[in-house]
């Protein structure tokens, strides 16, 4: 909130303290009343950006979980392969 003070004369050359002068003093309030919907549009844009950020975050988390699951499956499959190779080596005759 800002304050203002002013003086207005009825004619340009009449700046003396006569009856035709107007004085005003008091607080000034500035509110964006006629903004053509810019404030609502800005709020809608910010909400859309927030939603987009949430979706991107969820997508990143889901991709990370998928990569982790794939890595665990691959690890398990390699462990089974190693176990089969070791069993095959033990089962081989000594001469081979």
User: What tens digit of pLDDT does each residue of 51-79 get?
Assistant: 999 999 999 999 999 999 999 999 999 99
Query: Which band of pLDDT confidence, cut at 50, 70 and 90, is reported for residue 93?
Result: confident
pTM surpassing 0.75? no
pLDDT digits (tens, 9 = 90+) for 31-45: 677 777 888 899 999
Q: What is the rounded distance in angstroms from the CA atom of residue 64 to the CA atom of residue 56?
A: 12
Domain boundaries, the chain: 39-96
| Highest averaged pLDDT of the listed ranges 8-12, 21-25, 26-30, 52-56 | 52-56
């Amino acid at each position: 909130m800002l304050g203002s003070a002013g003086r207005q004369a009825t004619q340009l050359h009449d700046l003396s303290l006569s009856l035709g002068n107007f004085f005003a003093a008091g607080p000034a309030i500035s509110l964006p009343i006629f903004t053509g919907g810019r404030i609502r549009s800005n709020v809608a844009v910010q909400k859309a950006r927030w939603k987009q950020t949430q979706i991107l975050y969820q997508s990143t988390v889901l991709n990370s979980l998928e990569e982790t699951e794939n890595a665990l499956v691959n690890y398990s499959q390699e462990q089974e392969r190693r176990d089969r190779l070791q069993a095959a080596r033990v089962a081989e005759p000594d001469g081979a």
